[in-house]
Every structure is written in C-alpha cells, then in structure tokens.
Amino acid sequence: MRIGELSARTGVPVPTIKYYVREGLLPAGELSSPNQARYEDSHERRLRLIRGLLEVGGLSLAAIREVLTAVDDKEKPVHKVLGAIADRLVPEHGGGEPDAETVLAREKVAQLVAARGWQVDPGGPAGESLAAALAALSRAGHGRFEEVLDAYAEAAERVAGADMAYVSRMVAREDLVESVAVGTVLGDTMLAALRRLAQVNLSARANPAP
Amino acid sequence: MRIGELSARTGVPVPTIKYYVREGLLPAGELSSPNQARYEDSHERRLRLIRGLLEVGGLSLAAIREVLTAVDDKEKPVHKVLGAIADRLVPEHGGGEPDAETVLAREKVAQLVAARGWQVDPGGPAGESLAAALAALSRAGHGRFEEVLDAYAEAAERVAGADMAYVSRMVAREDLVESVAVGTVLGDTMLAALRRLAQVNLSARANPAP
C-alpha cells in the first residue's frame, strides 16, 4: 500500500509516519519509484504497536525504540530479550550517593525477595524501582503504607502467573517477544485502571449514598 | 527555617523551591523580613511529597497541582476528594469519534464491571483508561492478551482491599486524603515493579541456568 493508505488505515498522519521512519522506529517502505514507497501489512502492525506504546503505555519515543530494538534482535535468546525489555520499561532512578531512606528501602526489597523465595536480583532495575517507591513513601512521611507490601506481592505473583500462562501459548518467536513487550506496558495500564475501579467500588460500598 | 535549610534537608535546590512557590505547588513561607521567608516542617513535608510524585510517580507538575488542590480543598467530603484524585491520576484518552476497537473495548469493560458486581461507572476515567488499553491491544494484533483480564481483576480487588484497609486506619482528614494520593501514585509504581520481579522469577524457574 502507499503511505496515504497506511495513514488512512491507522489514523497516523503522513508526516508522523515519515518521522517514525527517519527516527528508525518504523522500517522504510520499499521504493516502487523514485518518489514512492510501498508499505506492507507488517508496517501497519508495527505502526499500531508504536501508537499503543506511546498513547496508552505512555512510553517515550526513546523507550519505544529500545523495546523495538530488543524485539527485532534475532540473535538474542528469547529469555534474555524478555529480561532486557522488562529492564528498559522500568524508569531509571537516581545515581549519586543513596540517602538513608534508599539504603533502608533496598534492605526491605532484599528481605521481601528472600522471604518469597523469588529467584531475582533485588538490585536490578525492577528492585531498584520498588526501593525508590518505598524510599519516596518514607520521605513523604507515609512509610506505613509499606504494610500493604505483602498483599501487593501476592497480587503481583497472581498477575505474573497469568502473564506467563498467556506467553507460554505463543509459538513463533516474534509473537512471543512482541506479546511480552505489549503485555508488559499495556498490562501495567490495565492493572492500574482495574485497581482504581476496585478502589472506587470498595469505597462506594463503605460509603453508601443516602 | 530559612529556604537554605529547607533545601539542605530535602536535597531540592533553592531555585527549584522558589519555582514551586511561584507555581502554587508549595505555599509561600512567612516573611520574617522584606528579603527573607521562614518555612515550617509542613513545607518540608509538602516538598518531599511533590518530589515523590514527580520523580517516582512520574506525574507532571500540572497533575501534581491538581492532586494537591484536591488534598487542600477542605470543603469537599473525603469520599468525593478520593474519587477526584483517582480520576485525575488516570491519563486522559482520546476525544473525537471512537473507532470500532474502542466501542468493543468499552462493551468489554462494562461486561467486566457487571460480572464482578462492581459499583462503579464503567464510563468514568478509570474505565476509559482500561478500554483504551484493551483497544490498543486489539489494534496492535494482541487482542488475545485479554485472556488475562479476570486474573488481573482479581489481583486488583486484592490490592484495593489492602489499600482500603490501610486508609481506614487513618483518623485525621489530611492524613487520609494525602495517603490516598501518595498510595495511589506510588502504589502503581510498586505494583508494576513487583509484577516485573514476579515475572522474572517465574521465567527463571521455567528456564533454569545450565
């Protein structure tokens, strides 16, 4: 298809599509004449993926580029790619000398990981992200919110179990890797929205309208 | 304390503190002389809250201002404030004519809410956010990821139950409202990080190192 049809099908303006191609997010179309490129269904699908990660997942273009690079790297074993994607999706924190709250929060994360018998590095990006949230709670005077941590960890195990069951049914490597990228980003959005709905439900039941 | 001490205690540079005051995020200090303002412990706590929402929660300054306005509005009943905060924390989606995927996704959200007996408006901001994620999955060719929805909803109920149990122990209105704002934002970060850790754990167990 021509770029105009790709734009019409996806709702993405032509200049934006050209921008994604220039930025290396979308492969260039095949030139069918000096001024015209032909795009395939794979371009349409990749474009929808970019828009979903951008608009619903809230990822930056730089983060999307890194996710797509990991998806497209055919040399890496799937297991490694999944880890790389997960790491890139977690916001980076800090650098510099850790303050007292951060040191304490890291200890708590290590304790949690040990108590649950999780085979993960508590000092990796996800563990650091959790420690940053715990440290911020403590700094803001809400350290007691940590009381919910165990319930959160159990819920996370349940969600991850559903994620992995879904992923294990994938056969083709591309489907598998792309699913994890999409599911990780949009899954966070889904989970946050469901948490909000469940909170409002419980709050409405606790405070019935007069 | 003077602004220099406030800066030293919180690690926030003096020009940034002045910027927050100009932008209405932080109340001005009390003038102790024409060129000097005195800041209280309440300023320090508010400043830590702003930094936590900004750096760990990833909120924009505009979103933080709206959350703080809701926290500070003493006229509103607590229940309404909580709903307003939850609504403001969900990213706004779309406008314009909904596409076929959005229409279908909204139906699925309404079905889910009905099936779980949740007393919530599925067309509110959280329901719309969920619908946007489902529509994006469908557009990107990953509609089958919806299979996890029930497991996610159950996990969300568990998390929201822990949230409400924590909140119900608050006595003072200010503590209550601020806790919900903090817990909602940083709780999402915690949950996403824990989901990542639990995924890596399950993945490591399924693919043991040789």
- Out of A156, A163, A195, name the one closest to residue B160 (CB): A195
Contact criterion met (CB < 8 Å) for B166 and A145: yes
pLDDT band with cut points at 50, 70 and 90 for residue B205: confident
Q: Kindly provide the ipTM of the predicted complex, given to two decimals.
A: 0.78
Taking only the tens place, the pLDDT of each residue in B72-128 is 877 776 666 767 776 666 655 556 678 888 999 999 999 999 999 998 889 888 898
Domains of chain A, earliest start first: 1-56 (1.10.1660.10), 91-158 (no CATH)
Question: Which positions in chain A touch B147 (Cβ < 8 Å)?
Answer: 162, 166
B38 close to A (CB below 8 A): no
pLDDT band with cut points at 50, 70 and 90 for residue B210: low
Question: Which positions in chain A touch B192 (Cβ < 8 Å)?
Answer: 90, 129, 188, 191-192
Tokens read off for A147: 């009381």
DSSP chain A: --HHHHHHHHT--HHHHHHHHHTTSSPPPEEEETTEEE--HHHHHHHHHHHIIIIIS---HHHHHHHHHHHH-TTS-HHHHHHHHHHHHSPP---S---HHHHHHHHHHHHHHHHHT--S-TTSHHHHHHHHHHHHHHHTT-GGGGGGHHHHHHHHHHHHHHHHHHHHT--SHHHHHHHHHHHHHHHHHHHHHHHHHHHHHHHHHHS---
What distances in angstroms separate CA A125 from CA A84, A164, B166, one per listed residue?
Answer: 10, 20, 27
Taking only the tens place, the pLDDT of each residue in A42-70 is 899 889 888 877 877 777 888 888 878 87
Give me the residues of B, 165-184, that contact A with CB < 8 A.
Answer: 165-166, 168, 178-179, 182-184
Cα R_g (chain B), whole angstroms = 21
Taking only the tens place, the pLDDT of each residue in A144-200 is 888 889 999 999 999 999 888 887 777 666 677 777 777 877 888 888 889 888 887
Question: Which positions in chain B touch A153 (Cβ < 8 Å)?
Answer: 194, 198
Question: Which positions in chain B touch A55 (Cβ < 8 Å)?
Answer: 93, 132, 136
Question: Which positions in chain A touch B99 (Cβ < 8 Å)?
Answer: 11
A69 close to B (CB below 8 A): no
A82 close to B (CB below 8 A): yes
